[in-house]
DNA sequence: AAGGTGCGGTTGTCTTGGACAAATGTTTGA
DNA sequence: TCAAACATTTGTCCAAGACAACCGCACCTT
């Protein structure tokens, strides 16, 4: 119907012209939905920024709907990337694209890691998937699962995270690393699984906490100790955790919190969960978020480092018997 | 801020009470963002239906914001499920939940699963983790990876999803199942990995699509065929997919879409990604969302079932040569 | 110096109701 | 029987306003 629609629209009902439109010449223009997809900024945010900061300032198609030129989209992407690293929009949205990219570039302060970790980092950077797999596997074999987790995976994950924050790693490079480690750990966990003994540990995280690596590291450490793990994956609502603990007769519920998780939420969530769980079920919490918590929480054991887990399991067995 | 939020609220800034609220008694009420995530119906659609059809009719919190009781959410899910099968909202939105479910249920015993699948379902229901692991492993060994994925994992995952929709499975039971299958598949994929051959396939999903099982099934099927997989995990923004494809010299980019993923987003996202990728890189899309798409998308191969993958890889090799 | 506590500015999501294009369904005409 | 024209259904976009949760900062206490 429409003859001069030039936008490559995202909207479902209006997408008929998207293909043809996109073939037309000046088509680095996107609709608000497309920009939402590409940048990760919601439509509401895009409109709000326009109102508040006068940026972005999209053109309008003949029907009055926003169309974003590619240069504005590029700037939006740059702003989003910086925001993910902790910058606040009001501070940076006025800057030029070049300045934004300059901000992203690492300031210089290279952190010190062991040579082995440096090597792995450069394999990721070089997109050498095959070699990366081999190298990690080799390290696992040499160190054994527990040392591998504590001395290699944990610092490596931190290093990757920091490199990403500094803009040295692309999103997809971090994704690839996570995926490789996950495969490796899951594999090792299966192999290391002995016949089940007490304690029975339920592993998961709260909603809004999608990071699985921490949980896998804990599972690996626990499996090495001969404990029985009941992994629920990430983001289990608190009432479900309670039901699962009862259904699986868990002795311990262990939760993982990444650095990005808000401290307040962690603390209040743990307190409430503690109240909802039977008294004889222990509640353990670990991860970089928890490590920062100042106050202890009544009835919650804080796991401040992975190599603590062994003695915590031993303590549990000393109190409750070998099961 | 993040779109992958799964708390009872989507909004980053207002999530303070999310975890604790979930523990409190009367909290099967969800915010509009949470319902959007759960049902796959956008906020705009939820508000529009309320205006037009008088359903849903959420309560309001003390601040005047919508809160949806769980029974309305159940009905919304049922309606969405039927819409995915081609029903139109206006026709069915007035019906009762029971009638909706009756509509959805296949008339005869088409819903019957093989005895083996029934057995696995009952192991999940009975929380027999050990036995579940053994049984699945046994089936994998007996059937081989490819048949296991196509004949067991795929229907089993559908069955678990349907049971969850009908309220027969708890959230944590579905989580546990997912986690077990993930471990199993990752393990098998590692074992089945031969030396790498063409094509090189980049595997991932779009943002807001967090389901990993589909990707793992595809990876398993591809590894069996001797293809080289570059798994990026879930939720990679489109520009990152393009960068990753170039960095890893991918021949094919394969995306997975679960049933909950909005069709229009899938279609427009695929179109835009197609335009952004070099012409010599193929784009494949699979998953139950894509299976429903009526129109083909120019330059995108739709994978309608897992056992197609073998011949698709063969076709690719026929065109591009083995090397 | 270290560790709270309180305050104001910043920021994202929610609200309402109106408008309209595209998809689907129905009738008409050859 | 098929296709074109019309009618209905349906989802997305728009605008401006409201407000709660967050942030950084200053202040105060120990």
Domain end call among B104, B128, B155:
B104
Poorest-confidence range of A50-54, A147-151, B60-64, B308-312?
B60-64
Is A236 in the same domain as A164? no
Q: Which long-range contacts (CB under 8 A, 24 or more apart) does A240-244 make?
A: A240/B170, A240/B171, A240/B172, A240/B175, A241/A202, A241/A204, A241/A273, A241/A277, A241/B172, A242/A273, A242/A276, A242/A277, A243/B170, A243/B172, A244/A202, A244/A204, A244/B170, A244/B172, A244/B175, A244/B176
Statement: the CB of B319 is under 7 Å from strand D: no
Residue A160: how many CA atoms within 13 Å on its side-chain side?
A: 27
Angle at the Cα of B215 (from B210 to B217), degrees rounded to 5?
Answer: 135
Statement: the CB of B14 is under 7 Å from strand D: yes
Torsion of CA B238, B244, B245, B247, to 10 degrees: 150
Rounded alpha-carbon distances, angstroms, from residue B216 to A197, B71, B122, B305, B310 = 30, 33, 24, 14, 15
Is B125 in the same domain as B224? no
Residue B218: both structure tokens together = 């595809």
A55 versus B19: the higher-pLDDT residue is A55
Predicted local confidence at residue A221, as pLDDT: 96
Residue A142 in this model has a pLDDT that exceeds 90: yes
Please provide the average confidence, as pLDDT, over all residues in chain A.
86
Q: Please check whether residue B243 lies inside any domain of the structure.
A: yes
Look at strands B197-204 and B252-256 and give their pairing.
parallel
Is A34 in the same domain as A94? yes
Beta bridge partner(s), residue B201: B229, B252
Other Cβ atoms less than 10 A from the Cβ of B146: the count is: 18
Residue B212: both structure tokens together = 């990993």
Contacts of B271 in chain A (CB under 8 A): 8, 15, 18-19, 22
Residue B5 in this model has a pLDDT that exceeds 80: no
Give the rounded percent of residues in chain B with a pLDDT score beyond 90.
62
Residues A90-103: tens digit of each pLDDT = 999 999 999 998 88
Rounded alpha-carbon distances, angstroms, from residue B124 to A186, B174, B183 = 20, 8, 16
Confidence of residue B263 (pLDDT cuts 50, 70, 90): confident
Contact B244 A34 (CB under 8 A): no
Pick A207's closest partner by Cβ from B6, B127, B247.
B6
Rounded to the nearest 10 degrees, the angle between the axes of helix A213-224 and helix A309-320 is: 50
Confidence of residue B216 (pLDDT cuts 50, 70, 90): very high
Which residue is nearest nucleotide C22, judged by alpha carbon to C1' distance?
A13
- Alpha-carbon span A259 to A263, nearest angstrom: 9
Residue A9 in this model has a pLDDT that exceeds 50: no
Domain end call among A104, A135, A158:
A104
Domain end call among A153, A187, A221:
A187
User: Which chain B residues in 180-239 sit with Cβ < 7 A of strand D?
Assistant: none
Contact B176 A129 (CB under 8 A): no
Confidence of residue B67 (pLDDT cuts 50, 70, 90): very high
Report the CATH number at residue B259.
Answer: 3.40.50.280
Contact A129 B248 (CB under 8 A): yes
Other Cβ atoms less than 10 A from the Cβ of A190: the count is: 16
Report the CATH number at residue A131.
Answer: 1.10.1240.10
Range of the structural domain that residue B122 is part of: 113-189
Give the rounded percent of residues in chain A with a pLDDT score beyond 90.
62
Confidence of residue A260 (pLDDT cuts 50, 70, 90): confident
Residue A10 in this model has a pLDDT that exceeds 80: no
Contacts of B248 in chain A (CB under 8 A): 127, 129
Q: Nearest chain B Cα to A236, which residue?
A: B172
Q: Could you please report the per-residue DSSP string of B167-210?
A: TSS-HHHHHHHHHHHHHHHHHHHHHH--S-EEEEEEEE--TT--
Predicted local confidence at residue A266, as pLDDT: 84
Confidence of residue B220 (pLDDT cuts 50, 70, 90): very high
- Alpha-carbon span A264 to A31, nearest angstrom: 37
Nucleotides of D under 7 A from a protein CB: 9-24
- The residue whose two tokens read 């939402």 is A36
- The residue whose two tokens read 């027969």 is B168
* Best of A75, A170, A233 to mutate (most B CBs within 10 Å, chain B): A233
Residues A177-210: tens digit of each pLDDT = 999 999 999 999 999 988 778 899 999 998 888 8
Please provide the average confidence, as pLDDT, over all residues in chain B.
86
- Alpha-carbon span A213 to B264, nearest angstrom: 32
Q: Nearest chain A Cα to B22, which residue?
A: A238
- Alpha-carbon span B121 to B163, nearest angstrom: 9
Alpha helices in A144-209 (DSSP H): 145-147, 154-165, 171-192
Which of A186, A212, A218 minimizes the C-alpha distance to A286? Answer: A218
Is A126 in the same domain as A87? no
Is A91 in the same domain as A138? no
Is A22 in the same domain as A40? yes
- Alpha-carbon span A180 to A120, nearest angstrom: 12
Predicted local confidence at residue A84, as pLDDT: 85
Predicted local confidence at residue B12, as pLDDT: 38
Whether A13 has its CB under 8 Å from any CB of chain B: the answer is yes
CA–C1' nearest nucleotide, residue B41: D11
Beta bridge partner(s), residue A286: A256, A303
Is B201 in the same domain as B295? yes
Is A222 in the same domain as A252? yes
Tell me the average pLDDT across A246-261: 92
Q: Please check whether residue A52 lies inside any domain of the structure.
A: yes
Structural contact between residues B116 and B139, judged by C-beta atoms closer than 8 angstroms: yes
Q: Please check whether residue B3 lies inside any domain of the structure.
A: no
Pick A186's closest partner by Cβ from B3, B7, B186.
B186
Query: What's the CA–C1' distance between A97 and C21, in Å?
Result: 35
Is B52 in the same domain as B169? no
Alpha helices in A193-262 (DSSP H): 213-224, 238-247
- Alpha-carbon span B63 to A81, nearest angstrom: 33
Q: Please check whether residue A221 lies inside any domain of the structure.
A: yes
Predicted local confidence at residue A106, as pLDDT: 62
Nearest-CA distance A78 → chain B (Å): 12
Predicted local confidence at residue B322, as pLDDT: 66
Q: Please check whether residue A4 lies inside any domain of the structure.
A: no
Confidence of residue B260 (pLDDT cuts 50, 70, 90): confident
B145 versus A297: the higher-pLDDT residue is B145
Confidence of residue B15 (pLDDT cuts 50, 70, 90): very low
A–B CB contacts, 8 A cutoff, strictly below:
186
Q: Please check whether residue A136 lies inside any domain of the structure.
A: yes
Whether B134 has its CB under 8 Å from any CB of chain A: the answer is no
Structural contact between residues A24 and A7, judged by C-beta atoms closer than 8 angstroms: no
Q: Is A249 helix (H, G, I), strand (E, B) or coil?
A: coil
Cα B30 versus chain centre, distance? 21
Structural contact between residues A260 and A287, judged by C-beta atoms closer than 8 angstroms: no
DSSP state of B17: G
Nearest-CA distance A307 → chain B (Å): 24
Is B197 in the same domain as B311? yes
Q: Please check whether residue A6 lies inside any domain of the structure.
A: no
Is B68 in the same domain as B156? no
Structural contact between residues A42 and A32, judged by C-beta atoms closer than 8 angstroms: no
Whether A262 has its CB under 8 Å from any CB of chain B: the answer is yes
- Alpha-carbon span B252 to A111, nearest angstrom: 36
Report the CATH number at residue A17.
Answer: 1.10.1660.10
Beta bridge partner(s), residue B67: B31, B59
Residues B146-171: tens digit of each pLDDT = 999 999 999 999 999 888 877 889 99
Other Cβ atoms less than 10 A from the Cβ of A213: the count is: 19
Residue A144 in this model has a pLDDT that exceeds 90: yes
Whether A94 has its CB under 8 Å from any CB of chain B: the answer is no
Is B74 in the same domain as B17? yes
- Alpha-carbon span A50 to A318, nearest angstrom: 62
Tell me the average pLDDT across B65-91: 91
Number of domains present in the structure of chain B: 3
- Alpha-carbon span B74 to A318, nearest angstrom: 47
Contacts of B134 in chain A (CB under 8 A): none
Which residue is nearest nucleotide D19, judged by alpha carbon to C1' distance?
B63
Nearest-CA distance B110 → chain A (Å): 31
Contact B267 A196 (CB under 8 A): no
Confidence of residue A111 (pLDDT cuts 50, 70, 90): low
Residue B295 in this model has a pLDDT that exceeds 80: no
**Stated pTM of the model:** 0.87
Confidence of residue B9 (pLDDT cuts 50, 70, 90): very low
Q: Please check whether residue B6 lies inside any domain of the structure.
A: no
Contacts of B243 in chain A (CB under 8 A): 170, 172
Whether B299 has its CB under 8 Å from any CB of chain A: the answer is no
Structural contact between residues A172 and A125, judged by C-beta atoms closer than 8 angstroms: no
């Amino acid at each position: 119907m429409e003859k001069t629609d030039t936008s490559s629209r995202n909207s479902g009902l209006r997408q008929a012209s998207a293909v043809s439109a996109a073939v037309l010449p000046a088509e680095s223009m996107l609709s608000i939905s497309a920009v939402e997809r590409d940048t990760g900024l919601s439509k509401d945010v895009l409109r709000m920024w326009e109102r508040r900061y006068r940026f972005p300032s999209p053109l309008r198609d003949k029907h009055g709907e926003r169309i974003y030129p590619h240069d504005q989209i590029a700037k939006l992407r740059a702003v989003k990337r910086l925001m993910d690293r902790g910058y606040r929009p009001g501070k940076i949205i006025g800057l030029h694209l070049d300045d934004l990219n300059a901000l992203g570039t690492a300031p210089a302060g290279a952190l010190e890691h062991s040579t082995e970790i440096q090597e792995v980092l450069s394999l990721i950077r070089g997109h050498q998937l095959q070699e990366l797999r081999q190298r990690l596997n080799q390290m696992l074999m040499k160190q054994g699962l527990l040392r591998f987790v504590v001395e290699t995976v944990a610092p490596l994950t931190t290093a990757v995270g920091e490199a990403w924050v500094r803009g040295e790693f692309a999103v997809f490079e971090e994704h690839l690393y996570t995926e490789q480690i996950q495969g490796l750990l899951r594999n090792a966990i299966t192999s290391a699984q002995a016949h089940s003994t007490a304690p029975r540990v339920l592993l998961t995280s709260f909603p809004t906490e999608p990071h699985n690596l921490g949980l896998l590291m804990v599972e690996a450490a626990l499996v090495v100790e001969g404990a029985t793990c009941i992994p629920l994956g990430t983001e289990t609502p608190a009432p479900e955790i309670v039901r699962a603990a009862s259904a699986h007769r868990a002795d311990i519920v262990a939760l993982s919190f990444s650095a990005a998780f808000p401290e307040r939420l962690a603390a209040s969530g743990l307190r409430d969960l503690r109240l909802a769980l039977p008294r004889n079920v222990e509640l353990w919490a670990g991860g970089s978020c928890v490590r920062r918590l100042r106050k202890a929480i009544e009835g919650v054991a804080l796991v401040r480092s992975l190599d603590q887990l062994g003695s915590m399991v031993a303590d549990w067995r000393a109190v409750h018997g070998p099961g």
